[in-house]
């Protein structure tokens, strides 16, 4: 009787030396530790860094990934640990798949999340195919999220460290992608453990600060980027209350997001006002009291379902889940009602403030840490 080969730390029935792993390396400490750890364990590691945009504009900007110095840092890590490292030019793909939609979404009054689209359309699609072309057995990243083998296949779970959990940004990972991906940092209890590992391996990025901004948005100025990409985008308009009364003026809808309170430029009101919705067609920013932000329902599209049963075959009362409508908020109890064409209606048990078109709505199991997928919030 033949014995089944013992599985390695990546869950594959091969020895580490016979297992090729492509590691997506941003040049930061997280992905560097993943590459170093796997190389130290004897895996056949290949490091890949993506050049996503023009470095001439990025070299002087702090706090962003994939700039020129980050590529150099990734190369230094590869040299330190003795594995090959390559840089792939993905500028055109990134522009077409991520940046253009980012600009157009803001112009349409939505609040996009480009990091999710980058994972979905570039890293976990194009780069994953490159990994297969290189005959890699799997692809590993430095994301803080966990992958477990369940009775129906690979499952996505929140990271062990709630403060570092990145499940909101990875909800669109498909079952086929999840089968191929690995997340070696998801079980760590804190970022301090990651930095300790970096120091242990003698990595030159051990003390490198975390990136904070979206990589192509200098200093967090979304409006400046959009104006550069779409000249004339910052047309002025009116700030109005819920009855349509003009309270002030603005210098472009792209400068506002749903739920915003500061920077409205209107004073003398009896109560604090918040951006309730944006109307790009009339160039109006509609404001109202905080209670006007509350909503119990949301329409979503492009649903990606990671449950064990077909999404459309849910119970009569809808799927009972927890949902996050912003990355910084905890999951709230809800029911998901499937509709045709990958759409659904989300019914929250308690009203949630600031549900904004363009944001992700991510589904979680009512108990435990499992991620069940998600979709994109549409204009109501």
Q: What is the pTM of this model?
A: 0.91
Closest CA to 113 of 379, 376, 336: 376
**Residue 234 contacts residue 56 (beta carbons within 8 Å):** no
Structure tokens at 116: 């999710």
Residue 115 annotated to the active site: no
Which domains does the chain possess? Answer: 16-219 (3.40.50.620), 234-288 (2.30.30.280), 292-377 (2.40.30.10)
Strand bridging mode 20-24 / 44-51: parallel
- Residues 146, 160: Cα–Cα separation, whole Å: 8
Find the largest Cα–Cα distance for the chain.
83
Q: State the pLDDT at residue 4.
A: 58
Q: Which of 65, 115, 138, 215 is catalytic?
A: 215
**Residue 170 contacts residue 145 (beta carbons within 8 Å):** yes
C-beta neighbour count of 176 within 10 angstroms: 12
Q: State the pLDDT at residue 54.
A: 61
Residue 361 annotated to the active site: no
Q: Which of 65, 118, 138, 361 is catalytic?
A: 118
Instruction: Tell me the pLDDT of the chain (380 aa) as tens digits.
Output: 455 568 999 999 999 999 999 999 999 999 999 999 999 999 999 999 999 876 444 334 444 444 578 899 999 999 999 999 999 999 889 999 999 999 999 888 888 899 999 999 999 999 999 999 999 999 999 999 999 999 999 999 999 999 999 999 999 999 999 999 999 999 999 999 999 999 999 999 999 988 777 888 867 778 888 888 888 778 899 999 999 999 999 988 888 989 999 888 887 677 899 999 999 989 999 999 999 999 999 999 999 999 999 999 999 999 999 999 999 889 999 999 999 999 999 999 999 998 999 999 999 999 999 999 999 999 86
Tell me how far CA of residue 68 lies from CA of 62, 71, 176, 215, in angstroms: 11, 5, 32, 12
| Dihedral (CA of 315, 317, 321, 323) sign | positive
| Dihedral (CA of 61, 67, 72, 75) sign | positive
> Which residues face 333 on adjacent strands?
322
């Amino acid at each position: 009787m033949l014995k089944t080969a013992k599985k390695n730390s990546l869950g594959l029935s091969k020895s580490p030396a016979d297992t090729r792993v492509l590691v997506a390396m941003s040049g930061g400490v997280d992905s560097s530790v993943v590459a170093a750890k796997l190389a130290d364990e004897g895996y056949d590691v290949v490091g890949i860094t993506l050049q996503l945009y023009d470095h001439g504009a990025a070299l002087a900007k702090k706090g962003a990934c994939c700039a020129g110095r980050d590529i150099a840092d990734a190369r230094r890590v590869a040299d330190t640990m003795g594995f090959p490292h390559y840089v792939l030019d993905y500028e055109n793909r990134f522009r077409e798949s991520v940046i253009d939609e980012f600009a157009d979404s803001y112009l349409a009054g939505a609040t996009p999340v480009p990091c999710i689209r980058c994972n979905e359309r570039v890293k976990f699609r194009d780069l994953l195919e490159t990994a297969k072309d290189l005959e890699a057995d799997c692809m590993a990243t430095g994301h803080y999220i966990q992958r477990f083998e369940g009775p129906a296949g690979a499952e996505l779970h929140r990271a062990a460290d709630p403060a570092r959990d990145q499940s909101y940004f990875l909800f669109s990972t498909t079952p086929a992608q999840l089968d191929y991906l690995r997340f070696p940092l998801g079980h760590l209890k804190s970022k301090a453990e990651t930095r300790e590992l970096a120091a242990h391996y003698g990595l030159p990025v051990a003390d490198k600060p975390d990136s904070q901004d979206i990589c192509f948005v200098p200093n967090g100025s979304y409006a400046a980027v959009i104006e550069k990409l779409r000249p004339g985008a910052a047309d002025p308009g009116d700030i109005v209350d819920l009855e349509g009364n003009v309270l002030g003026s603005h210098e472009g809808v792209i400068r506002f997001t749903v739920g915003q309170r500061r920077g409205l430029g209107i004073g003398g009101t009896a109560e604090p006002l918040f951006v309730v919705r944006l109307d790009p067609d009339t160039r109006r920013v509609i404001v109202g009291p905080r209670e006007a932000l509350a909503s119990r329902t949301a329409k979503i599209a492009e649903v990606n379902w990671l449950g064990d049963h077909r999404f459309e075959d849910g119970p009569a009362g809808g799927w009972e889940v927890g949902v996050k409508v912003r990355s910084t908020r905890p999951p709230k109890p809800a029911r998901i009602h499937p509709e045709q064409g990958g759409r659904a209606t989300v019914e929250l048990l308690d009203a949630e403030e600031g549900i904004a078109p363009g944001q992700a709505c991510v589904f979680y199991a009512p108990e435990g840490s499992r991620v069940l997928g998600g979709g994109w919030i549409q204009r109501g």
